Amino acid sequence: MSTACHIAGLGVSVPENTLSNFDLEKIMDTSDEWIVTRTGIKNRHVLKDDENISQYAAEACKKAMAEANVSPSQITHLLVATCSPETLSPSTACILAEKLGLSKYTGLPFISENNPSLVCFDFNAACSGFVYGLELSRAFLALNKNAVILLVTAECLSRRMNYKDRTTSVLFGDGAGAAVIRAEGEYLFKILDVSVGADGDFKDLIRIGGGTDKKVQVGDTIGEDYFLSMQGREVFKHAVRGMAQESIKLLDKNSLSVNDIDLFIAHQANLRIIEAVGERLNIPQDKVFTNLEKYGNTSASSIVLAMAEAKEKGLLKKGQKTLLTAFGAGLTWGSALLG
Ligand code: UT7
């Protein structure tokens, strides 16, 4: 029998600063009408110049820990899903550990019988990050049923938008989310099953440069490849197919049908994609939750932002069957079932 896996607390935090379609109209050749019709997005939250995403991730973590009634000293794993880390090294997870005071209890010496160690790292599954994180959490709980996992999403793609590329730069916003995941104790939602996949053959469809693949020198000018580029139409097709197929696979594996699903939350990339996946799955519109009009595509954070709002509105409830599905760069994808 596999170890139980529960979400015991959920928290989100987004920058106060916003960028509306009307703001974008002032800096590029676009219109509110085009963006709303093609994507459903009206607004995004974006970092101010002197802000960083870990400060918002820390807020999200504090909310999730408070809801789960867990103190920082109880956290055994801090896993950060991000494709927009603050630095290549250290990880955003280690930056966040310091902000949350998780490192303090470890103290010196680093390894001591009295001080439980902290597993702390970033992982990049792009927009599928939260669903991948649920799968990682299940794996860590199978290794140690006493683990108390803080699964975090911290994304600030506004920092990698090329505002000369109007097709892609209107889509993304910033935001952070966190979930406390553990096996025992009070909980909000049970993670019933997760299924993830990837195909590197499509690695070039969505790309953010600025890594070590190119030799650069101090003083070099940043080129276009430093920013997010995407072959939108191609990604659109794969996203619809990928999320629908993975969801059907997961339902079949759990002997469930679409009729058993009470709520459907897909990665908030484009309203037309979500509607197309809903149609393929035959899910009635009133079971499909969206909030991308307020945030745009926040990559790994989008599902957590949607879950938190659906929970707040009384739409996401303990015991009801919720289907999550995500798709992103890599290509990566995944679906999860909550109950
Ligand atoms: O999170 C990772 C997953 N990402 C996604 O799922 C995104 C997937 N792709 C998409 O959501 C859509 O493909 C986009 C929203 C990126 C683009 O929508 P589209 O319906 O595929 O538009 P398009 O790129 O085919 O462009 C249609 C027209 C073009 O004009 P012409 O050539 O038909 O005259 C574009 O130049 O719309 C024009 N256009 C714009 N017009 C005003 C493109 N961007 C804009 C814009 N404002 N921002």
pLDDT of residue 209: 94
Q: Whose CA is nearest to atom 41 of ligand 1?
A: 30
Q: How far is the CA of 281 from the centre of ligand 1 (A)?
A: 24
CA quadruple 101, 79, 94, 300: dihedral sign: negative
| Beta strands in the chain, from DSSP E residues, in sequence order | 6-13, 18-20, 43-45, 77-81, 119-123, 148-156, 174-182, 189-198, 206-208, 228-230, 263-266, 288-289, 322-328, 332-338
pLDDT of residue 112: 54
pLDDT of residue 111: 56
Q: Which residues contact 86 (CB under 8 A, 6 or more apart)?
A: 52, 53, 54, 92, 95
**Structure tokens given for 36:** 């709303």
- Catalytic residue status for 127: yes
Asked whether this chain's domains 6-188 and 192-338 adopt the same fold, the reply is: yes
pLDDT of residue 333: 98
CATH class of 6-188: alpha beta
For the chain, the domains span: 6-188, 192-338
User: Would you give per-residue pLDDT tens digits along the chain (339 residues)?
Assistant: 578 999 999 999 999 999 999 999 999 999 999 999 999 999 999 999 999 999 999 999 999 999 999 999 899 999 999 999 999 999 999 999 999 988 655 555 555 555 567 899 999 999 999 999 999 999 999 999 999 999 999 999 999 999 999 999 999 999 999 999 999 999 999 999 999 999 999 999 999 999 999 999 999 999 999 999 999 999 999 999 999 999 999 999 999 999 999 999 999 999 999 999 999 999 999 999 999 999 999 999 999 999 999 999 999 999 999 999 999 999 999 999 999
**213 Cα distance to chain centroid:** 25
Q: How far is the CA of 232 from the centre of ligand 1 (A)?
A: 6
Out of 61, 120, 127, 156, pick the active-site residue.
127
Which residues have CB under 6 Å of ligand 1? 30, 34-35, 38-39, 127, 166-167, 170, 206, 232-233, 235-236, 239, 269-270, 273, 297, 327-328
**Cα separations (Å) of 280 from 265, 275, 286?**
14, 9, 15
* Residue 324 bridge partners (DSSP): 265, 336
Q: How far is the CA of 34 from the centre of ligand 1 (A)?
A: 9
- In the block, tokens 């994808």 appear at 333
Topology adopted by domain 192-338: Peroxisomal Thiolase; Chain A, domain 1 (3.40.47)
Residue 7 contacts residue 192 (beta carbons within 8 Å): no
